Amino acid sequence: MKTGVANLPLHYGKTPLWLFQRMQRLAREITIFIVSEFSNEEMLKRLSDPFWFQAFGCVLGFDWHSSGLTTTVCGALKEGIKGLERDLGLFVAGGKGKVSRCTPNEIEKFADIASFDPQHLIYASKMSAKVDSAALQDGYQLYHHTFIFTKSGSWGVIQQGMNERNRYARRYHWLSSELKDFVCEPHFGICSDSIEERVLNMVADEAFEARSISTHLSKEKPDKLLIELKKLKNLELPSYHQVLIRDLHPDRLNKIFLKTYEEQPNNFEELLGIPGVGPKTIRAISLISEIIYGASPSFRDPVRFSFAHGGKDGHPYPVNREGYDQSIEILRTAISSSKIGNREKIDAIKRLQGII
């Protein structure tokens, strides 16, 4: 699974209607061209690449460094190809805020139109959101979830979280084609301007034992877990554990512990998928796993690349220059071959020149 994360400063306000309408038109034409010349799978793959997605947003005319690029580009793409989904074999569901919660219903609606089984897609949508909100606790609250998929069943996710403390947003990309495991090293090509000091990363490879013990503990009677958690609340723990445990209230977790006990999950992915299991549940069980059983989770922020620069003076700087140049060339060709007006076409190419 190819994924990526980008950190972007929070910008507020709405995109002017005149700009958003043009973004829709240009996004539609570029998508039609890439799908026609290559495939819908190729379009899905490129949207999953955080650098290509960033360049795409710049070409559409949005501020390179704004958190609004994510929501606006996804919105422009969704509106731009509306009515063409079946012909393109490419579908866009979800969006920002309340719209994100409509994703399963939208997937089912498209399934009725194109006659395919939506269940694995709905599962992927829900699990990707669960992983980046509960299994990976990095301080960014998800508020945007766009699920993109093809008629053959391949899928990608572009979702974004907000951190009010540092006023940054973090973007998460997913792609199904290389997915091996939802809960072990699911992120690849992660981009972020900063590495968080306090991260609970239960999907790191080194957290394998913690995931196993957590699953085992979730099948224990709630009374046992609550007793252990109350003990931890009274111990002198290292500072990072104080941060993790400070807002855990054992008695309030009784209901969800009873639910995990009744469900008897077979593995960590099943545990994570139980309705009601969220960040506090995972945090509580992981603490017990480490302190009592010595199964330490990972506190590594899964950041690999950086968007340290960006804008019209030649950035964001590509991690893979050859791949980035290829992406730029595809965008340039798509724009040149599109049916949009000559003035808009020239402006888009100029914006593209500015990020090479």
Same domain, 62 and 12: yes
Same domain, 131 and 52: yes
Does residue 298 fall inside a structural domain? no
Alpha helices in 253-354 (DSSP H): 254-263, 268-273, 279-293, 321-337, 342-353
Same domain, 136 and 229: no
The answer for residues whose C-beta is within 8 angstroms of residue 261's C-beta and 6 or more apart is: 218, 219, 220, 221, 222
Same domain, 171 and 99: yes
Dihedral Cα 315, 320, 325, 326, nearest 10 deg? -140
Phi, psi of 273 (to 5 degrees): -80, -10
Give the model's pLDDT for residue 167: 77
Give the model's pLDDT for residue 193: 66
Same domain, 179 and 210: no
Dihedral Cα 128, 146, 190, 300, nearest 10 deg? -40
Same domain, 50 and 121: yes
Same domain, 160 and 53: yes
Domain boundary among 266, 293, 320: 293
CA-closest candidate to residue 154, choices 55, 35, 69 = 35
Same domain, 180 and 217: no
CA-closest candidate to residue 216, choices 146, 275, 264 = 264
Angle at 238 between CA 232 and CA 242, to 5 degrees: 60
Does residue 253 fall inside a structural domain? yes
- Domain residues for the domain of 161 are 4-196+303-353
Counting Cα atoms < 13 Å in the Cβ hemisphere of 253 gives: 28
- At 177, the amino acid letter reads S
The answer to whether the beta carbons of residues 134 and 185 sit under 8 Å apart is: no
Both tokens of 26, joined, read 């240009």
What are the contacts of 244-251 at 24+ separation with CB within 8 A? 244/198, 244/200, 244/283, 244/286, 244/287, 245/283, 245/287, 247/280, 248/280, 248/283, 248/284, 248/287, 250/226, 250/284, 251/226
Does residue 116 fall inside a structural domain? yes
d(CA 26, CA 123): 31
Same domain, 180 and 209: no
Dihedral Cα 294, 135, 320, 62, nearest 10 deg? -150
Residue 186 exposed, middle or buried by CB count within 10 Å (0-12, 13-18, 19+)? buried
Give the model's pLDDT for residue 2: 42
Does residue 18 fall inside a structural domain? yes
Number of domains in the chain: 2
Please name the residue that has the structure tokens 């992981």.
Answer: 286
Using alpha carbons, list the distances in angstroms from residue 299 to 136, 137, 206, 254, 286.
9, 9, 10, 26, 11
Q: Which residues pair with 136 in a beta bridge?
A: 201
Same domain, 209 and 100: no
Same domain, 10 and 93: yes
The answer to whether the beta carbons of residues 4 and 172 sit under 8 Å apart is: yes
Please name the residue that has the structure tokens 């569901």.
Answer: 93
Both tokens of 160, joined, read 């974004």
CA-closest candidate to residue 244, choices 180, 304, 201 = 201
Please name the residue that has the structure tokens 């059983």.
Answer: 293
Domain boundary among 293, 318, 341: 293
DSSP 133: I
Same domain, 213 and 310: no
Using alpha carbons, list the distances in angstroms from residue 291 to 76, 246, 294.
48, 15, 6
Give the model's pLDDT for residue 87: 94
From first to last of its 356 residues, the chain has per-residue pLDDT tens of: 444 544 444 444 566 777 788 888 889 988 998 999 899 999 999 998 887 888 888 788 765 445 578 889 999 999 999 999 999 999 999 999 999 999 999 999 999 988 899 999 999 999 999 999 999 999 889 999 999 999 999 999 999 888 888 777 788 889 999 889 999 988 766 666 667 888 999 999 999 999 999 999 999 999 999 998 888 766 665 555 555 666 788 878 999 999 999 999 999 999 999 999 999 999 999 988 988 888 999 988 886 655 433 333 333 344 345 655 666 677 777 777 777 777 777 777 777 666 54
Domain boundary among 293, 312, 336: 293
